[in-house]
Structure 1
Amino acid sequence: MARTFTLVQLRYFIEIARLENMRAAATSLNVSQSTLSSALSQLEHDLGAQLFLRLPNRALKLSEDGKRLVAGARILLEDAETLQTSLSGHDDQLSGKLRVGIFAPLAPFIAPRLLGNFRVRYPKIELQFVEGEQQQVLEALGKGECEIALMYDLGVGAEFSMESVDRLGAHIIVGENHRLAERKKPISLSELVEEPLVLLDQVHSREYFLKLFSSLDLEPNVAYWVSGYETVRSYVAMGLGYSILNRRMPHNLTYTGSAVVPLSIAEPVIPISVVVAHVKEVPMTRKARVFAELAREILNDG
């Protein structure tokens, strides 16, 4: 006997999977918790599968069957939206929501440009960014909170597929009054190794920067471990040390009103790739694919 289910049940299921909490999903969908619970129970009955593991704190975690259903449900719902618009005589533009994870230090540079261009090309798609640190974005991908993500290629596991859309080298920044601020030639890291380093303290990023030193048998004098990108720049601008970053700003001013000076590194530096990532087992919808294509186009144009 064929299994039956409804599109409404699938929409409810996707939102529960995203939030991992029945009450939060009910609030988001503007339905009662009992309605949502009943729809989920019926869906599990119709499919003959347990879609969630019920945790003691009332949170929900996708089962293996649930993870597989997320992949197919997104594509099925997108196809249903396309079919509905074609039958009603409207254009067949892509529509609906698309949640994209983005690594927080990249967001100020990339998100506004992507959002502006995306709204012009695909006005019927509601694009939402889920911003966080590298590990948080990976967790959001794994939980289905976002469909794809724009992030660095650092620490990305084998369960994710990646496509490079940009490459970033590393550079030194010093304050305007630093002894090397006027230097025109590239600076060797050995010239700075004894000075206080303001390290961008984010998982994977910090390992990348520290490896630049260890690969040269150097040990930096880490004076400050700072998690915020702009905070790092402000520390340096105030003369508290130097730092190494990847993304060059279009200007050198910081929130303090003082400026930093970017300097090239003399030693060869392995660049970081900015990638579009998604869970291997979850095929991308057409909305996600057009976003990936736009990201590649915008970032390659600089």
Structure 2
Amino acid sequence: MDIRHLQYFVEVAKHQSFSKASEKLYVSQPTVSKMVKNLEDEIGMALLLRSTKRKLELTDAGHVVYRQGQAIIQSFHNIASELDAIKNMKTGTIRMGIPPMTGSRFFSKIISGFHQKYPGISIKIIEDGSKSLEKQLLQGNLDLAVLALPVAPDAFDYIEIVNDDLQLLVHPAHPFSACNAVKLSDLQNESFILFREGFHLHEVIPAECRKAGFDPAVVCESSQWDFISEMVAENLGIALLPETICRLLDPTRVKTILLIEPSIPWHLAISWQKDNYLSYASKEFVTYTCESLQVDPRNKKRAGGAIE
């Protein structure tokens, strides 16, 4: 079976039109018709119901060949992509999504070190919230993204790289500043400073507050953790930030306190689309990131196994 026969048939089935398929394939319509007829003759079954009064329809056999043909064509493209990656091992581009909160803390040194090791591989950084990056990764606009867990297991493969909890951030003059730990329910009368929509914590923190019996009063939203901490330092309100970020803050200007009952986890994973081809450059970046953060790259989550 010629791969071109499948390609031509799949395009006809996709567009339900010989003419539209010919435009997409940049060949004449008679050529497309001939290729599809040859495929039907080889299979020995009709794949299309042809009618002048309506669009083309697939027969039962046509549905099978269309579904399987798409997978075969994708595999064929993957072969070409992987061979090209082997041929050009030290070149490539990685489209990487990173939340602003993690960029300076975790990835500035990683990206610098990776570039020194692979100077021919360029990295295009997209900074946005975890939820926004998740959508872009699903749409194929990114190769890799750092996402807050949990993520959809049927959509992504990932390796967890950060395991952290949120801490309470208050002004030094706040009554809670003398406490070693504060319950989430104790914050029901406080003014919250949150990350804006599109960020994982924009959804998680209000959801946890509602579980604790109250809706948080939000006075300000931002996309930058340093701006959020500055607003706390100006006594505008309180905030919940990851412990890793809290360690970077000036303790004379803000006070960080353990949050309990419940603690709110902040787990991050370097993620990619499940079952999609992952370029050599992207695989190397995942491996390099795991080595830099001392994470076992074999801990790929989904069905288990190493990055191959």
Among 119, 135, 138, the alignment partner of 1:139 is 135
Specify the code of the residue in structure 2 equivalent to 1:208.
V
Partners of 1:147 and 1:71 in 2: CA distance: 18
CA distance in 1, matches of 2:208, 2:189: 15
Matching residue of 1:59: none
Asked if structure 1 preserves the Cα contact closer than 8 Å seen for 2:181 and 2:260, the reply is: yes
Shift of 1:148: 1.6
**1:136 Cα deviation (Å)?**
2.7
AA partner of residue 195 (structure 1): E
Match of 1:248 among 236, 245, 248: 245
Contiguous gaps of at least 5 residues in structure 1: 5-39, 50-63, 86-92
Q: Does 1:272 align with 2:266?
A: yes
SS in 1 for 2:185: helix
Q: Distance in 2 between matches of 1:294 and 1:139?
A: 25
3-state SS of paired residue (1:265): strand
Distance in 1, matches of 2:131 and 2:276, equals 19
Counterpart of 1:237? 233
Name the counterpart of 1:79. 83
Report if aligned partners of 1:186, 1:263 keep a CA contact under 8 Å in 2.
yes
Deviation of the 1:82 alpha carbon: 3.1
| Distance in 2, Cα, partners of 1:104 & 1:71 | 36
- Unmatched 5+ residue regions in structure 2? 5-23, 37-66, 296-308
Structure 1 partner of 2:287: 293
Residue 128 of structure 2 corresponds to residue 124 of structure 1: no
Q: 1:177 and 2:177 equivalent? A: no
The 1:129–1:171 alpha-carbon spacing in structure 2 relative to 1, beyond 3 Å, is: same
* Matched letter for residue 80 of structure 1: D
Contact in 2 for aligned 1:212/1:269 (Cα 8 Å): no
Q: Using the alignment, how far apart are the partners of 2:266 and 2:75 within structure 1?
A: 29
Instruction: Quote the offset at 1:156 in angstroms.
Output: 4.2
Measured after TM superposition, the shift of residue 151 of structure 1 is 1.8
Tell me if structure 2 keeps the 8 A contact 1:70–1:144: no
SS for the counterpart of 2:245 is: coil
CA distance in structure 2 between the partners assigned to 1:3 and 1:101 by the alignment: 35
Q: 1:186 to 1:221 in 2, by over 3 A?
A: same
Give the TM-score normalised by structure 2. 0.65
- Aligned partner letter, 1:166: V
| 2:204 pairs with one of 182, 185, 208 | 208
Alignment partners' CA distance in 2, 1:72 and 1:275 = 30
Q: Does 1:283 align with 2:277?
A: yes
Is 1:198 the equivalent of 2:193? yes
8 Å Cα contact 1:106-1:151 kept in structure 2: no
Supply the distance in 1 between the matched residues of 2:201 and 2:108 (Cα, whole angstroms).
23
AA in 2 matched with 1:76: A
Post-superposition offset of 1:244: 0.8
Computed over aligned residues only, the root mean square deviation of the Cα atoms, in angstroms, reads: 3.6
Q: How many residues align?
A: 241
Q: TM-score, normalising length from structure 1?
A: 0.66
Distance in 2, Cα, partners of 1:108 & 1:68 = 42
SS at match of 1:264: strand
